[in-house]
Amino acid sequence: MDTIKITQAMFPQFNVYSTPLLILVIQGLILMVLLLKRYFEKKNTSDAILAVLLLIVSYTQTCYTIGFMGWYDTFRNTKINYFLIPTGTAIAPLIYLYVKSITKSNFNFLRKHWWHFAIPITLVLYRLTIYTYDYSQSGFQETQNGVLKIDLDEAIIQPILNVVDFSVMLLYLAFTIQLYIHYKQKIKQYFSNVFKLELNWIRNFLIVFTFLFLYSSIQSVVGSFIIDLGYNERWWLNLAMAICAIYIGVKGYFTDTTKLNKLDFSFSPKQISIPEHTKEAKKEISEIAIEAIAALMEREKPYLNPDLNLSELAKQANLTRGQLSEIVNSGFNMNFNDFVNSYRVNAFKSMLKEGKHEQLSLLGVAFECGFNSKATFNRVFKKLTSFSPTQYLQSQSN
Separation between Cα atoms, residue 186 and residue 178, nearest integer Å: 12
Q: Kindly indicate the confidence band of residue 266, based on its pLDDT and cuts at 50, 70 and 90.
A: low
Cα separation, 98 vs 121, whole angstroms: 19
Query: For 294-315, what is the mean pLDDT?
Result: 89
Note the pLDDT of residue 33: 96
Nearest Cα to Cα of residue 126 among 152, 151, 91, 145: 152
Q: What is the pLDDT of residue 264?
A: 60
Whether residue 8 is predicted with pLDDT greater than 50 in this model: the reply is no
User: Given a cut of 70, is residue 297 above it in pLDDT?
Assistant: yes
Please write the tens of the pLDDT for every residue from 27-58: 999 999 999 999 999 999 999 999 999 999 99
Asked if 303 contacts 288 with a C-beta cutoff of 8 angstroms, the reply is: no
Q: Which residues contact 333 (CB under 8 A, 6 or more apart)?
A: none
How do residues 120-179 score in pLDDT, each as one tens digit?
999 999 999 999 999 999 888 888 899 999 999 999 999 899 899 999 999 999 999 999
With residue 14 as reference, give the H or E element that holds it: none
pLDDT band at 310 (very low <50, low <70, confident <90, very high): confident
Integer-rounded Cα radius of gyration of the chain: 29
Average pLDDT (348-374) is 87
pLDDT level of residue 396 (50, 70, 90 thresholds) = confident
Percent of the chain with pLDDT over 70: 90
For the range 73-76, what are the long-range contacts, defined as Cβ-Cβ under 8 Å and sequence gap of 24 or more?
73/10, 73/11, 74/7, 74/8, 74/10, 74/11, 75/8, 75/11, 76/144
Q: What pLDDT does 354 receive?
A: 87
Q: Give Cα separations from 317 to 256, 311, 355 (angstroms).
A: 32, 10, 32
Q: DSSP letter at 142? A: G
* Euclidean distance between CA atoms 58 and 56, whole angstroms: 5
Which segment of 186-200, 328-342, 366-380 scores lowest on mean pLDDT?
186-200
CB distance 318 to 312 below 8 Å: no
pTM here is 0.79
Task: Judge whether residue 268 has pLDDT over 50.
Answer: no
> Considering the chain, what is the average pLDDT of its residues?
86
| Residue 82 scores a pLDDT above 60 | yes
